Each structure stands twice: as C-alpha cells, then as structure tokens.
Amino acid sequence: MIRLLYIPVLALYGWLTIVHLLPAWVGERSVARARTVATIAAILHLVALTWLVFEGNTTPGIQEGLSAISLGVMVAYAWVGIGRVRALGMLVSPFALVLLGTALVVPSHGIRALEVTGYSAWLPVHLALVFSGIGGFGLSSIVGVVYLWARDRLKKKRFDGLQRLPSLEVLDRIQFRAMLFGFIFLTLGIGAGGAWATASLHHAWTVDAKVWSVVLIWFWYGLALQVRLVGGRRRRRTALFSILGFGGLLFSLVGVNYLVSGWHGYAS
C-alpha cells in the first residue's frame, strides 16, 4: 500500500512524456510548463523514496536503486531544462518513466551487506552520493545520444527536427558538465562506501565483483574526462564514452548484483 505514493509521480512522468513527444497535441502552454511539472514530480518522487526507505521498513535494494536513478535523471533535467534544452525531455521523461515503472515491478531484493552491518549513518550518505553521480551520468548519456543524432543530421544536411534542439556546442557543454558532475559524486560515493564498511565491520572487508565493476567504470569516466581535457574538443568521443559508460553502470547495478555473490549481492 505504501507504494501508492509513487502513483502521482508515475502520472506526472507519463504526462511529461506525452508533452515532449506530442508537443503539438498538448499545446505550447503545456510545453512551457514542462520544467515546473518536472520539478514538482521530482519533489514528490524524493518524498516517496525517502518515506519508503526510512518509514516503510524497506531495505534499500534493486527497486530503490532504479527509483533513485529515475529521480536523479529527472532532477538533472529539472535543473537544466529551459529554453531549447527543454527538448531533451523527449528522451529524459520516457527514460525516467520506464525506470520507475520497472522499479515497481521487479522482485524486491535487499543488499547482503545490510544483513551484516545493519543501518549506519554512512549508508544514506553513500547512497545519495552514488545515485547523484549516476543521475549525472544518465543525463550525460542522454545528451550524448541527442548530440550524436543531431551531429549526424547536420553532416547529412537534413535539418528537419533540429529546430527545437539547442546547438551542438550547448549540447556538448551540458554533456561534459553532467559527466564531470557524475564523476565527482561517484568518487565521493565510493569514498563514503569505504568509510561505511570500515565503520560498520569488526573485521576486514573484502573487495567483491561489484566494487571492481564500479572502480572500472570510475576509471572509464576518468579516462573520458582526461581525453576531453587533454585532447581538446573531441566531442564525439566524449559522447560515445558517456553512452557506453552508463550502459556499464546499469549492468553493474542490476546484472552484477544478481549474477555474482558478494558484499553487494542481492539477498534472497
């Protein structure tokens, strides 16, 4: 019953999806209010997720993880979705809607680590930092997809559909800054996770497959930023790095936890 809190959030995400995919049908007034609706939806989503975790006796797991990514992506969009950047909602809104819908139907699995450590003050810090970083990476990958699509259209001199989008330079700037935001917060989240494990365990903790996968993704994004900062304006490579890296992040969140046992594996 407590998951009924998500119903208005799903409704608003669904409405945002319709607004961005069918702007002529809903009217310019609804399109202009998309950012406000996204902000309201993100606030309701945050309230619902916080209530479920801290008041609903819910152990954070796959459902809460997917929900947090959905929230992070929508917060990022609400932050930047003004002017022509609002057109990014064509991908952001359906993505957030699908993630949240999936979170509500997948089987509930908690993290094995919590069975050993129990609740710690480091836990919300670790999760908030990591999923803030993932939200940044999610926005970066979506903008990367839009950038590559728009770049391809321009090279082929096919300009239909580009009028609503910002310039390639603006897309590239948003994509890079979102990636940098994600990298900083993922770095802090990894550090907070180590502090949580050190403070909660009375014996040495081992590095499992999930930790290795996240560290590899951290190096991947670090390499992408290094290529961009040192190599100059290699916008296409940065976009490709971002898209592939986010795919790896999603696999790490879902696939690695299910397929490999360990500290971060999903408990039955």
27: how many CB neighbours lie within 10 A of its CB? 10
Q: Which two tokens stand for residue 60?
A: 């954070």
Q: Which two tokens stand for residue 133?
A: 């970083």
- 267 pLDDT band, cuts 50/70/90, is very low
Higher pLDDT: 167 or 187? It is 187
* Residue closest to 120 by CA, chosen among 230, 185, 197, 174: 197
107-144 residue pLDDT tens: 665 555 555 555 566 677 777 788 788 888 988 888 88
State the alpha helices, DSSP H only, in the chain: 7-21, 23-26, 28-32, 34-54, 62-80, 89-105, 112-117, 122-155, 168-200, 209-231, 235-251, 257-259
Asked if 69 and 138 touch (Cβ cutoff 8 Å), the reply is yes
- 12 pLDDT band, cuts 50/70/90, is very high
* CA atoms within 13 A of residue 130's CA, in its CB half-sphere: 25
Q: What are 266's strand-pairing partners?
A: 111
* Angle, CA 33 vertex, CA 32 and CA 37 arms, to 5°: 150
Q: What is the 3-state secondary structure (H, E, C) of 31-86?
A: HHCHHHHHHHHHHHHHHHHHHHHHCCCCCCEHHHHHHHHHHHHHHHHHHHCCHHHH
User: Cβ neighbours of residue 135 under 8 Å, at least 6 residues apart?
Assistant: 68, 69, 71, 72, 73, 75, 76, 182
22-60 residue pLDDT tens: 877 877 787 778 888 888 999 999 888 887 766 655 556
Give percent helix, percent strand, percent coil of the chain, each to the nearest 5: 80, 0, 20
Q: Which two tokens stand for residue 163?
A: 């009028």
Residue 156 carries which side chain, given as an amino acid letter? K
Return d(Cα 112, Cα 20) in angstroms, integer. 40
Provide the pLDDT for residue 253. Answer: 73
Find the length of the chain.
Answer: 268
Cα–Cα distances in angstroms (integers) from residue 221 to residues 78, 82, 135, 170, in the given order: 24, 27, 14, 20
